[in-house]
Amino acid sequence: MPRAQRILITNFVLDSGTGSELYVFDLATKLLAVGRLPIVYSPRLGALARKMQLRGITVTDELDRIGDRPDVIHGHHTLESLAMAVRFPEVPMVFVCHDSSAWHDTAPTLASIRKYVGVDQACYDRLVFQDGIPPSSVKIISNGVDFDRFPARPSLAVIPRSLVLFGNEFRPEHVELVRKSLPALRVESIGVLTEQPLTEPGAKLLDFDIVLARGRCAREAIATGAATVVAGATGMGEMVTSGNIAYYEANNFGRRLLQRSFTSENILHAVSMYNSVDATEVTNLHRSANSLDRMVAELIEIYDVLISDMSWKQTQAPDQTHAIASWLQWASLRANVSQNATETDATSTPFLPFSQSIRKKSLSHKVYRECGRALRRFRKRAG
């Protein structure tokens, strides 16, 4: 019996279920179902990691415990991907960018990283115009939705009666503002900061006619047949319609679309666009092109190409130590930025001594330590 293809997936955390965490969960689950062998590495494991283990997925938080060579590496996040490039320098990697601005999603440039994927247009633009990756090496593969977990409703109410704010970033004040703006609607929330977390929100979404969400949550809401307004804690966009869904999907219902303030006026404007017939058309369009099966099939196609084409081994520099060391130096400076820095002031925050800015057992310190350990092994092997 042939050995199953081994795909090593990295992520900087597997705990509460943020976007990239759930992406890993869906990807690993589907890979296992189609006969591949996913192995998941993260330096910080929690509830989601345990859930994955209960499904038979191998999960580890120690580089040294990965005792055999994978066939391909699916890298998320800069430090974790660097760690795997050091641990397995002879294994080809695809690096997937999930965030168009976060420093920890900066694309490393190493010979073993053969392909780059952006989950939307903003991530593609970051890879090409900010991180310097050649367009020929970058592909957009949009996120897919597990339609078994997010089934479509039979019909949507002609007149809306209920609304839910869906996402971990919404706070109680967002919920209260929507309630005051729309007193005729029943308004609830699903998310960590409003103390309404749900591990399986698909069934709950069927109870609401309108959903305020962005990114992955917006994709899942649309899949259930809800009229969806793209919105997050930092701003909002429009109601998703059959006229704008192509543009909104290309931008992952994300940050680029949040150009309006989260105000009563803008909430009322977005909700006034409610149309049950058009919302159903949006759902049909979305479900026809955005399944989890489609996403995984596109990724498997990349894995197969990388595994079959090993010509890069003959052309790459014989020793990547210096390149990796430079990336680790860059990462250590980034990790020294105060943990309290926000997106708006992070670039002006002075660098702090490592011991003052990062707790001893924090995520960044642990990954940096493991990268350093792997780099020392790599130097010893190369010498």
The CATH number linked to 322 is 3.40.50
Decide which of 289, 314, 339 is a domain's last residue: 289
Range of the domain at 223: 162-289
206 with 336, same domain: the answer is no
How far apart are the C-alpha atoms of 91 and 300, rounded to whole Å?
16
Fill in the amino acid letter for 180.
K
Question: So what's the pLDDT on residue 23?
Answer: 95
Number of structural domains the chain divides into = 2
Question: So what's the pLDDT on residue 123?
Answer: 96
Q: Give me the count of residues in the chain.
A: 383
Residue 151 lies in a domain: no
176 with 249, same domain: the answer is yes
Contacts of 323 (CB under 8 A, 6+ apart): 109, 110, 317
Residue 184 is encoded by which pair of tokens? 């005729």
Residue 201 Cα to chain centre, angstroms: 18
Q: What's the CATH code of the domain at 185?
A: 3.40.50.2000
Q: 3-state class of 237 per DSSP?
A: strand
Residue 59 lies in a domain: yes
Please count the helices (runs of H) and the strands (runs of E) in the chain.
Answer: 15, 12
15 with 42, same domain: the answer is yes
Question: What burial letters (b/e) apply to 15-48, b meaning 16+ CB within 10 Å?
Answer: eebbbbbbbbbbbbbbbbeeebbbbbbbbbbeeb
Instruction: Render each residue's pLDDT in the chain as its tens digit; 383 residues.
Output: 678 899 999 999 998 778 899 999 999 999 999 999 999 999 999 999 999 999 999 999 988 889 899 999 999 999 899 889 888 989 999 999 999 988 889 999 988 999 999 999 999 999 999 999 999 999 999 999 999 999 999 999 999 999 999 998 999 999 999 999 999 999 999 987 777 767 789 999 999 999 999 999 999 999 999 999 999 999 999 999 999 999 999 999 998 999 999 999 999 999 999 999 999 999 999 999 999 999 999 999 999 999 998 776 665 544 666 677 777 767 666 665 534 444 444 333 333 232 333 333 444 555 556 666 655 655 555 55
| pTM to 2 decimal places | 0.83
**Which H or E element spans position 236?**
strand 235-239
Question: Please, where are the H alpha helices in 224-291?
Answer: 245-250, 264-271, 276-289
Question: So what's the pLDDT on residue 365?
Answer: 55
279 with 301, same domain: the answer is no
- What is the distance in angstroms between the CA of the first residue and the CA of the last residue of the chain? 38
How far apart are the C-alpha atoms of 260 and 266, rounded to whole Å?
7
How far apart are the C-alpha atoms of 235 and 255, rounded to whole Å?
9
Residue 224 lies in a domain: yes
Q: Are 41 and 60 in contact (CB under 8 A)?
A: yes
- In this structure, the strands spanning 235-239 and 227-232 are antiparallel
Residue 153 lies in a domain: no
Residue 155 lies in a domain: no
Place of tokens 């707790």: 359
Question: So what's the pLDDT on residue 292?
Answer: 96
Residue 157 lies in a domain: no
Tell me phi and psi for residue 82, to 5 degrees.
-60, -40
Q: 3-state class of 69 per DSSP?
A: coil
For residue 163, give the nearest of 185, 141, 143 by alpha carbon.
Answer: 185
For residue 321, give the nearest of 371, 369, 373, 379 by alpha carbon.
Answer: 379
Fill in the amino acid letter for 156.
L
For residue 332, give the nearest of 348, 316, 347, 352 by alpha carbon.
Answer: 352
Decide which of 271, 289, 307 is a domain's last residue: 289
Residue 238 lies in a domain: yes
Decide which of 222, 254, 289 is a domain's last residue: 289
How far apart are the C-alpha atoms of 75 and 113, rounded to whole Å?
9
Question: So what's the pLDDT on residue 377?
Answer: 57
